[in-house]
Structure 1
Amino acid sequence: MKVIVAEDQGMLRGALSALLDLEDDIEVVGQAENGEQALQMIESLAPDVVVMDIEMPYMTGLDVAEKLKERKNPCRVVILTTFSRTGYFQRAMRAGVKGFLLKDSPIAELAAALRNVYSGGRAVSPELALTFWEAENPLTEREREVLKLAREGLSAPDIANKLYLSSGTVRNYLSEAIQKLNAKNRIDALSIAEKNGWLD
């Protein structure tokens, strides 16, 4: 399997590449120090997998992943991160990222994750998976329903008619959703829920 390592810290990039190169079935064909360089290398060297830091100059690892998806490039993306922010994870999933691992994972774990991703699977560090799992959709089925109808531009009385509820109950569901999402108002709640993929 041909791999590119993209990481802006030179020492870490070199160490990662050297260690991965020791694996019989992994060949590091390029090293990039920023996102822009990574994208160019992926296009010219056609690796099977790219291992990228999430935070890099010019373009982040997620920017690169989004570009690859847009261009229908078959290279599989594995993101390395020190952050367990759920927003990052959800954006990564939307961009088609196949692996999401912590930077301090042992090299054997990284190599195993690359093999898994290369053969069509996914790989997420257990510690990260736990954080993301806990940040699952906070909205109830009913709150999602009400927000979806609000997204279509329906007023509270219209939503009430559609769902056979009273207007007061609909307003309660909306204010409950606004509160749970720490939103300023209904529009803000909709935008937060949509961005996190919580209305699908």
Structure 2
Amino acid sequence: MIARKFWVLALGILMIGFSSSVTAEVPEIGQKAPDFRLSTPDGHPVRLSEFTAKGTVVLVVLRGFPGYQCPYCQKQVHDFLLNGDKFAAAGAEVLLVYPGPPADLDQHAKEFLAKQNPLPANVHLVVDPDYAFTNQYGLRWDAPHETAYPSTFLIDGQGAVFFRKVSREHGDRTTAADVLGELERDKAAHAH
């Protein structure tokens, strides 16, 4: 009996160790985007599935706060905000994910958007203070002074990914024009 309990315990420890070493895969085109729930810097909960139920979601994963405000992120978000009305006209909600260490992340996110307030009604910033989302999507950039690989996903009303770009460097970001072009192509493809 004791030997059996030992083997059950040993197997349980092995399974826990194995499951924690398995990293999530970045969602592929055609796959369902894993649902997640994050909060705005002011604490309002946001769930991906609530947005996809309304239509297309532009999911932009920023570097967030790797110890400073990323100038590439600021430039990219500014571009998206300038084109907020075009995203609205395309029926798309823009969801910006701001990851980073939990200490003061809400405050850092507010500082990041200080010059951008108020946000257009269809643009939402959420924080990922414990990297739950970042890890779930396989985007954790686990290096000193890094948080997440800058990425963009377009997700349709059924929750399927129809465009993705993951950058393994600071630059090389999608632009608003890139994303608006993809939204237009997707709309044309579904019109036939």
What TM-score, normalized to structure 2? 0.25
Q: Which has the larger radius of gyration?
A: 1
Relative to its length, the structure with more strand (as a share) is: 2
Relative to its length, the structure with more helix (as a share) is: 1
What TM-score, normalized to structure 1? 0.24
